[in-house]
Amino acid sequence: MGIINRVLLFFYTIGIALLSLGAALFCLQVVPAAYVWNEFLYLSGRWETGAVALVMFLVSIQLFGLTFSSGKKTRYDKEAVVIHDGAGPVLYLIEKVRR
């Protein structure tokens, strides 16, 4: 995973953690429902809310796609060589790059 995807994952994780904390505070009735509903009505009419939702969706699709990629660009074939010396057998693994 590249550095850009790691930064996206960091901010995505922080955002989801804050969202879940807000949901927990709402369910425990620490934050009144009238306040949350008022803020929801305000945010639902703003174009910025739709833009952030679209960006979060694209980040989600990007991170979802990374779950299915292997990340390996080259393959390695492994061979084993056993050498017998005075101390006993010694196993050496040799990796060969296959393109």
**Span 13-50, pLDDT tens digits:** 998 999 899 899 889 989 888 988 898 899 898 999 89
Tokens 């929801």 map to which residue? Answer: 40
Which two tokens mark 64?
Answer: 């979802």
Angstrom distances, CA of residue 13 to CA of 7, 41, 48, 80, 98? 10, 25, 21, 42, 37
* pTM of the shown model: 0.57
Q: Are 22 and 12 in contact (CB under 8 A)?
A: no
pLDDT in tens, 42-95: 989 899 989 998 998 988 888 888 877 766 665 666 777 777 777 777 766 666
